[in-house]
Amino acid sequence: MPRSRGSQRWLKEHFNDPYVREAQRRGLRSRAVFKLEEIDERDQLLSRGQSVVDLGAAPGGWSAYAASKVGPSGRVVAIDLLEMLPVPNVTFVQADFSRDEGLAQLDAALAGSGVDLVMSDMAPNLSGQKAVDQPRSMFLAELALDFCQERLNPGGGLLVKVFQGQGFDELLKAMRERFAKVQSRKPEASRNRSREVYLLARGFRA
C-alpha cells in the first residue's frame, strides 16, 4: 500500500533530522532525550539522590537520562501503556496511567515514598483533528498535575508537555496556584512546526 504524501514528508523529515541522527549515533532510545537534556542543563532539574516519576515513559529515553543523573542513591519509577525494554536502575510499570488501575500500580511501586520530580512527555495518539487532539493532550497534562497533589514533596517540581491551544491558559493558572514558579520551555529539539511546549513548575506548595 503506497504511503500518503504526509507520511512520506514525515519520513523524509525524520531521517534528515540531526537529532535523530545524533540519537542513533549515541545509541539513545529517542530524539526526545535532547529536549530533557537541554531543559536540565538550563534549569538544573535533575540531581543526585532525587526520586523521579516518568509518566508516559516508553521507549525510555527520559527514564534512562534521569537515572544517569540521580545516580544509585536516587530512584526513577516509570509508567507507560506500551511495553518498554528494561532500563538500568529504573522501575517500570506497564499500565494505563489514565485509569485507576494503572495509578494504583504506580502507587504500589512508589510504596508510599515521596517524589521530588514528576516528568510527563505524554501525548495522545494524534488524529490530526485539533478539536479532538487538543482536549486529549490537556487531559493528560491535567492528570500529571493531579498526580502531584498527594505525592510530590514540598518544593518539588513538575515538567509536563502541553500543546498550545484551548485549555492551555486554564492549566497554566492551575499550576501557578500549586507551584511557586512556572516557566515555559521550547527546546531546540522540538520541531518548529510543533505546537508543543514544556511547562516547568518548581516549588510545589504541599
DSSP labels for 115-163?
A: EEEEEE-------S-HHHHHHHHHHHHHHHHHHHHHHEEEEEEEEEEEE
Decide if 200 contacts 43 (C-beta within 8 A): yes
Q: Is 80 annotated as a binding residue?
A: yes
Residue 2 has what DSSP assignment? P
Residue of 161, 173, 181, 186 marked catalytic: 161
Q: Is 60 annotated as a binding residue?
A: yes
Active site residue 12: no
H or E element, residue 180: strand 179-185
Q: Is 121 annotated as a binding residue?
A: yes
Between CA 160 and CA 132 the distance in angstroms is 20
Q: Tell me which amino acid residue 180 is.
A: A
Let me know how many helices (H) and strands (E) the chain has, helices first: 7, 7
Q: Dihedral angle at the C-alpha atoms of 37, 42, 47, 53, nearest 10 degrees?
A: -60
Q: Is 17 annotated as a binding residue?
A: no
Beta bridge partners of 79: 55, 93
Decide if 159 contacts 144 (C-beta within 8 A): no
Enumerate the active-site residues. Answer: 161
- Report the binding-site residues for S-adenosyl-L-methionine: 60, 62, 80, 96, 121
